[in-house]
Amino acid sequence: MLIKIRKASDVRGSEITPKSVYLDRRRFLRAAAVAGAGAAMAPLALAGSAQAGAKLTGVVKGPYSTDEEQTKYESVTSYNNFYEFGTGKSDPARNSRNFKPKPWSVAIEGTVAKPAVYDFEDLIRPHKLEERVYRLRCVEAWSMVIPWIGIPLGDVIKRLEPTSKARYVAFDTLHDPEQMPGQRRSVLDWPYVEGLRMDEAMHPLTLLAVGLYGEEMPNQNGAPIRLVVPWKYGYKSIKSIVRMRFVETQPETAWNKASPREYGFYSNVNPDVPHPRWSQRRERRIGFFFKRDTLMFNGYAEEVAGLYTGMDLAKYY
């Protein structure tokens, strides 16, 4: 009689513990203790699950997509970091239900030939919407695979014609404590600000995303328009953008201002540079039980390593 012994890598998280349990660390620990005693566990519903958004039409398959298994829609829209709506992972879905992402405009400022306040639709209309399946890696050592829909940031920048003085582009999130209750607390210095070096912003992997899974962007994921920079930690992918500024000097960014020892400006995914409070060598993919090795540049080294030739990535973290 032959008995197949399954490797740890063959075992899916859904075969061990209900998905909604292991998404929450505290509930997972409690569930593990009960499971160890042989008790049966009932699935726990995630608070604030998203309702389906409007379908996006005319979307084409974009380049660079991974063929890895996509994270479930329910996980992507209910397990979020969006401190404007609260610091808990389920807070954004619950607290963003009344957020109004339409009408929306984005101010373009700085050393650019075409500064103006652009209607959201006018900003994206000239471009074909692309679906790109990207990995997203968060500094807390969890990751997802998400089919984002958007337009290359570089294409938008070319239309705006930044001058030769523009070395960086900075982004601001909406500041509206009435709609964003998390901004009523001084967790960060609001509004949330992020930035990229110009060559990073122009790289074809960098996406201005307006949707996911074929639908408009849910509020808790950064509606109506957000950045996706897949080789960097998730907090660089700023949400609900209302301003883009082309500047000569490196902009101060929200998390770097809050804790420069922990959060560098570049924030490239790097397993060899530990966060002061935890290692970055391993990550847990949402939907799987066992951890996996963290890949340099989140698996996009072939595409982006050349941006950092000669840089000390431990110093410029």
- Residue 39 lies inside a defined structural domain of this protein: no
Predicted pLDDT of residue 53: 79
- Domain residues for the domain of 249 are 46-308
Could you report the per-residue pLDDT of 171-199, keeping only the tens digit for each? 999 999 999 999 999 999 999 999 999 99
Which of 310, 238, 314, 309 minimizes the C-alpha distance to 280? 314
- Residue 35 lies inside a defined structural domain of this protein: no
**Residues of the chain predicted below pLDDT 70:** 1-52
Which of 85, 83, 113, 116 minimizes the C-alpha distance to 244? 116
- Residue 3 lies inside a defined structural domain of this protein: no
Domain count, the chain: 1
Predicted pLDDT of residue 59: 97
**DSSP character string of 73-137:** HHHHTTS---GGG-SSTTHHHHHTTT----S-EEEEEESBSS-EEEEHHHHHTTS--EEEEEEEE
195 SS3 class:
strand
Could you report the per-residue pLDDT of 54-85, keeping only the tens digit for each? 999 999 999 999 999 999 999 999 999 999 99
Domain CATH for 104 = 3.90.420.10
Predicted pLDDT of residue 128: 94
